[in-house]
Chain A
C-alpha cells in the first residue's frame, strides 16, 4: 500500500526509516516517528474498531492518551496485549496489530445487530432485563460478558521482565510541553534535583502538533532542542520520556511507568520491558496539558469524525492528511487553527460550521482572510456514511429557541473535525485530593487549591495561550524549587516569550442543537468507548439517578479504559442542563489512578519465581537433598517432610521413620525452630509475664516448656526455654512464629515495660539444631561426647549443658517432642552439616534413621502433644487444651485476665481430646466435622472437628486429635464423623495421650 495520505514533506518523522507493519492481516508501510494511528491514517485507514455495546464502526478520534475508539490488540501469543491506544503505540518494524470487539471481521460484524436493536438497549438494559430469576444472573452474566469484552488477555505467561525503582527528587515535573519545559528549566537553574516525566516519545507536548509557532523569536522546534540540551547538561536533572506519571498518592508519592523497550525493534535482553518508578518528590509541577472535547450531535461517532486538534497534529507532526475533504465543526476560535493547518496541507476544507452566531477571534479572522467558507450560528445535525463519514447535514441554530432549524445545507466530506472546547487534564491533581472548580469562561474544571505540594501550570491550569503556559511553567518551576528548599539563581529570572492566543472565545453547548426532538435522528454519543448517548444520561435522570456518581455508574459513562477523558465534562454539562442546575452543583466524578491503563508486569517487577519470596534452607539441606528427601514448606523454610527409600510410598516411609525413633534411633534436623537469645537481669520476670507458667525458680542448666497467649487469652505459641546462665536464656519458638514472637517480645519490652533490662536477639540462623531420639540416643551421644556426663543425675530430662559433640562446641538439651529419650544438639550453623555426618556415621550401628516433619507429627500425636496452629486456631485457651497445669494462678501474665471471663469457663467450649475410630484402619481426614447424630442431609449440629489424624505404626492403628465441645466430659462416648463421600465414621472419645502416659520412656 502506498501512503497516499502522507504529505510530500514536513512532519517530525524520519522518512529514511520505512517501517512495515500489519493491521488485521494486511501489510502497510509507515515511518519511524509515526504512531500506529498516524501510519494507519497515512494509508487511508480510518475504520479501526467496533464499539463496545452497539458494535458501531469506529475510527481514530484523537492523537493521544484520550483515545476512546482506536483500541488495539498488539502482538501475538504470550506477548499479546489488549486495549492499547493506536494513538500512543509507537510504530516499529514488523508490528502486528488487530482490531477488537468484532466478529467475524471488522467490516462485517455480527454483533452490529445490537445497533439495529438499540431502541431496546437503553442504559440499564442489562440490569433491567436479566433480573429474574435472581439466581440466573450468573448465567446471564457469562453470556453478556462474552458478547461484550474488548481485547483478549494474553495466553501463556509473560515472557518479558519488568523492573521497579525508587527515586527521590526536589521537583517532579509531569509533562514535557511548553509549561513543563519552562518549569524544569526554572527549577533546574535554581539547582533543584529535577525529574521531568513525559509520556510521549519526545519533549514538546502540544508544540509538536503546531506549525509556525515561535518562542523567544525562534521556531518552537529549536526552542525545544535548546531546552532539551540545557536540561541534559544539568547533572541534577533527569529527563524521562515515554514515562507516564499515572498515579499521585499521599505525601507527594507519584507512581510512574517507563516504557523502556516497547518502541525498539530489537529489544536488548538486559533491559526490562517497562519500569515502575516509585517517586517521592518534595514538590510537583503538574503540566499535564488539556484534552479537546468532542461535540455531542447525532451520529457523531462515524469513522472520519475526529477531534480538530488531532487532525492538526496529524498534519504537523506526522505529515498526514486525515482525508481529502473536510468539514470543521467548532464552538470556539481554536477550531479554526485546525481548519487553517489542514487547508495549508492541501485538504479541501469545505466549510467551518460554527455554533457561535458571531464568530470571532484571531484564528477566525485568519480563516476569514484566507476565504474559508464559514457558516456562523450553525450546527451539524446529522451525518451519514457506514464505514466512513460521507456527508454532514448542517442546520442554522435559531437563537430564540436554541434549536436547530431544518437542514440548510448538506456537505460531502470524508473528514469532520470537531472542537467542543478543552478540558484541563486534572487527573493527577484530583488524585492528590486537590479540589477542582468550574471556570465559566473556559467552560471547564480547573485546579482549585492544592492538597499537597503541587503546582499546576499551563493548559492543565486553564492557561491556553502559549505565553501564559510558559510564564506559569516558569513560575511554577521557580516556586517549586524554592518550596523544596532551593535558592533560585539569577539565570532563570525571565520566562520565555511567545504569542498568547488560546482557543477562546467560545460558546458552550454541551449538546449541539438538533432539528429533531431529543433522542431522535441518530445517536448523539457522549462516551464513545462505552457507547453512552446524551439520551442515556437523560433516561438515567428520569429514572431517578440524580447524583452524578450514580448517573455515571448506571449509564457507565466515563467508566471505560479511557475513564471518560473526552466525555466526562460533556456528560456533566448535559446532566446539569437537564436538571436545570449549574455545573458546579452537579460536581465531578472521582478521578482514579491509573491515568491510562498500566500492565500488571510492573507491579510484579522482578518479584517472580525464585525472587518472589526468600527460600530458607538449613545448613544440612544439601544432605537431605542427596538423601532424596521430600520437602514441605514451613513458613519460608524448606523442611524434610519424609525420606523415602527407593520404591517406598510416603506412608511406608513415615511408618518406618516413626518405628525407628521408638525402637532404636531417629535423627531430625530441627534447625528451623525459632531461637531467641534473651539476656538481662530482668529476664526471669519477663518470662513470667510472657509465659503462662512461673520462671523465677528455673535453675541454671534447666529447661522449661512454656505457653504464650495473647491478651485475649488465646494460645499463640509454645516452646522450650533454657536457662544458660544467671541472666542468659535461650527461648525456642515454633518455626513459623519465630519472627512474630520476637516482634511481640520487642513490643512489650519497648512499650509496656521499658524499665525492664532485657535484650532479645534472634539467633535462629546462628545455630543448627539436630535432634536424636530413641532408646539408642544416649548410647550414641555418649560415644560422641565422651567428656559429657549424661547420667540422669548430671543431665536429667529438661536439662541443658555445654559440651563437645564430635569435636564441635555444642549445647546439649535433653528435651523431647517425641516422648522418647532424646537430645537436641545445638552447634554453630557452620558446623551443622559436620555434626549431622558424625551422628549418621556413628549411628549406623543403631540403624540411625532420619525422620521428617510428618514422622515428627505422628510421634508427637501419639503422645498427645499439641502443635500451635494445628490444634489451636486463635480461639483456643490452655484450659481448652487440658493444660491447666501450666497456667500459674499466682502471677500475672499476658492473657491471664481474659482466662477468667465467664465465656472462658463455659463447659461447652471446644476441648482437646483423642479420637479412636471404630475401624482401626480408618484414618479420619483432618478437618472432618464431628456430630452427635447424623441427619439425612446437612446442616446438622456440629460439635467439633478433627485437628490431627494419622496412622500410628507403634499402636498399629489410626489415632486422631480433635477439638470437641465439652470434650473432656465426653470421655468414652461415641461421636460421628460424616464425611464428604457420604460415609460416616464412628469414633470413641479418649484421652489425647495414646502412648506411654506415665512418661517412662523418657527415663533410662
Chain B
C-alpha cells in the first residue's frame, strides 16, 4: 500500500485515495472538429509506462481534491505530487513507454 503525499493533507495511506489514470489528458476544446480516431484516443487510449508516470489521484476520503502524482511504475517510488492543472515539476528521470 502506497503512501501518497496529498498536496493539501500531507502523506496518507493509499486506501484514502481513488485512482484516476493518466494525467494531462485534456478534453479536446472543440470535440466536433476532431476525427473519430482522435476522439477514441482521447476517451480510451492511455500510455502503459514503464518508468515515471504522471497520474491522477483523488483524496476521496480526505479533502476530495484531485491532484497529480509522478510515480515510478517499476519501483513505485513517488517523486512528486502537484495540483491538478499545474505543470509537472522538472524531474530527472528516464521513461520508457
Contacts and interface: CB of A to CB of B under 8 A. Distances in A.
- Does B bind A? yes
Contacts of A802: none
A335 B66 CA distance: 61
User: On chain B, which size bracket covers the interface?
Assistant: 20 to 34
B13 A892 contact: no
Contacts of B20: 747
Interface stretch (A414-422, A609-617, A897-905): A897-905
Q: Which residue among B1, B42, B64 has the maximum number of chain A CB atoms within 10 Å of its CB?
A: B1
Interface in A742-757: 743, 746-747, 750-752, 754
Contact of A898 (B30, B39, B66, B85): B39
A750 B84 contact: yes
Interface in A470-529: none
A898 B1 contact: no
B76 A251 contact: yes
Interface string A219-256: 00000000000000000000000000000011101000
Contacts of B84: 750-751, 754
Contacts of A249: 1
A428 to B, nearest CB: 16
Contacts of B75: 433, 451
Interface string B56-91: 101010001110000000011000000011000000
B66 A902 contact: no
A711 B64 contact: no
A338 B31 CA distance: 79
Interface in B13-45: 13, 20, 27-28, 30-32, 34, 36, 39, 42-44
Contacts of B2: 250-251
B3 A754 contact: no
Contacts of B1: 249-251, 253, 278
Contacts of B44: 712
Interface string A734-748: 000000000100110
A451 B27 CA distance: 38
Given A251-B2, A751-B56, A751-B84, A896 B31 contact: yes
A359 to B, nearest CB: 47
B27 A752 contact: yes
A746 B64 contact: yes
A975 to B, nearest CB: 32
A613 to B, nearest CB: 16
Nearest to A739: B60
Interface residues of A, number: 25
Contacts of A712: 43-44
Interface in A659-675: none
Contacts of B32: 892, 897, 900
A509 to B, nearest CB: 39
Interface string A897-919: 11011100000000000000000
Given A251-B3, A898-B39, A892 B58 contact: no
B85 A897 contact: no
A892 B64 CA distance: 27
A747 B66 contact: yes
A746 B63 CA distance: 12
A280 interface: yes
A750 B65 contact: yes
A729 to B, nearest CB: 20
Contacts of B31: 892, 896-897
A747 B58 contact: yes
Contact of B39 (A451, A743, A750, A901): A901
A751 B85 contact: yes
A280 B11 CA distance: 11
Contact of A743 (B56, B60, B65): B60
A743 B28 CA distance: 21
A750 B66 contact: yes
Contacts of A901: 36, 39
Nearest to B1: A253
A897 B58 CA distance: 26
A902 B36 contact: yes
A745 B63 CA distance: 15
B26 to A, nearest CB: 8
Contacts of B60: 743
Nearest to A901: B36
Nearest to A754: B85
Contacts of B42: 711
Interface string A90-103: 00000000000000
Interface in A306-323: none
A81 B41 CA distance: 53
Interface in A131-166: 166
Contacts of A750: 65-66, 84
Contacts of A751: 56, 66, 84-85
Given A250-B1, A251-B1, A892-B32, A897 B39 contact: yes
12 contacts: A249-B1, A251-B76, A711-B27, A746-B64, A747-B20, A750-B66, A751-B66, A892-B32, A897-B28, A897-B34, A901-B36, A901-B39
Closest 7 CB pairs of A and B: A897-B31, A251-B3, A253-B1, A750-B66, A711-B43, A250-B76, A751-B84
Interface of B: 1-3, 13, 20, 27-28, 30-32, 34, 36, 39, 42-44, 56, 58, 60, 64-66, 75-76, 84-85
Given A251-B3, A898-B43, 6 more contacts: A711-B27, A711-B42, A746-B64, A746-B66, A752-B27, A897-B34
